[in-house]
Copies of this chain bind each other. A is one copy, B any other.
Amino acid sequence: MIILKIGGSALTIKDAQTPTLDEKNLERIAQEASFYNDDMIIVHGAGSFGHIYAQQYKIGDKPKTPKDDYKIEGMCITQASMQLFNHKIITKLQEKGIPAIGVKPSSFVMTRNKRIEICDTSIIQRYVDEGFVPVVYGDAVLDLNDDVKFAILSGDQIITYLAKELKCNRVILSSDVDGIFTDNPKNNPDAELIEVVTRDTQLKVTDNQDQIDVTGGMMGKINELLALADEGIESQIINAEVEGNIQQAVSGQKVKGTLIR
């Protein structure tokens, strides 16, 4: 079984002021994903459908009162926006012949201190066994710590959890970058792609500090994937915006990127 993560940045116009789909990218990525030849789960990020609201309502920050109406409103609006985003993605995947089933994290996952605690994966497993492609996503969920109450559950945390629980062979993490570099390639023309990252690799923090990513940005991703590597599951970061990358990756071909093991 493989897990294909499609970054929200590849599917939306991330700097948009309102949730905005990148229709052209979605069309191409859905077409490429249809070349899968193994059991597959797709996990997608939030992009502008989620980050705008998660930031506006500061979901994940401590509620100010036991019943914080502003945070409750934020949870409702963020979840509804992600539900619509997931709907747009699964219907496009279905158009391309993928038996895509939307799976809503906030209906079956609860975190404690922002890490997954309640999560029955048996339904996802059965969808896969019956020939479906479950499509899970980053969502705003309930947190069992009463001081936290609400949390942003990133697509990256979902991947780590599902990969371990469902004993996946391969994780493909597609985003809007080629992989992990020795330095920020946007500022440093000499930055080189690192082909393999392990716990021993010395990484320079290259995240663009101007761009706050509520789900943790690239360092967050790497930490999730290193945790996966600790369990013996390899993953690969590839660029979803390079035509053909996802098609090659889901059909088992070699793609330029960073392997984490």
Name A residues whose Cβ lies closer than 8 Å to a Cβ of B.
67, 69, 72-73, 75-77, 79-80, 83-84, 86-87, 90-91, 94, 99-104, 106-108, 110, 118, 120, 122-123, 126-127, 130-132, 142, 149
Contact = CB atoms under 8 A, between A and B. Distances in A.
A79 B77 CA distance: 21
Contacts of A83: 83, 86-87, 90, 102
B104 A76 contact: no
Contacts of A90: 76, 80, 83
Nearest to A149: B130
A67 B101 contact: no
A80 B73 CA distance: 25
A76 B107 CA distance: 18
A76 B99 contact: yes
Contacts of A126: 110, 142
A120 B120 contact: yes
Contacts of A73: 94, 99
A84 B84 CA distance: 7
Contacts of A87: 80, 83-84, 87
B123 A108 contact: yes
A104 B101 contact: no
Contact of A104 (B67, B72, B100, B104): B104
Closest 8 CB pairs of A and B: A108-B108, A104-B104, A107-B107, A104-B107, A67-B131, A72-B99, A103-B107, A83-B87
Contacts of A122: 110, 118
A79 B101 contact: yes
B94 A76 contact: yes
Contacts of A69: 131
Given A101-B79, A118-B122, A107 B108 contact: yes
Interface-centre pick from A75, A94, A101 (highest chain B CB count, 10 A):
A101
14 contacts: A67-B131, A72-B132, A75-B99, A79-B101, A80-B91, A83-B102, A101-B106, A102-B104, A107-B107, A107-B108, A108-B108, A110-B123, A110-B126, A118-B122
A46 to B, nearest CB: 16
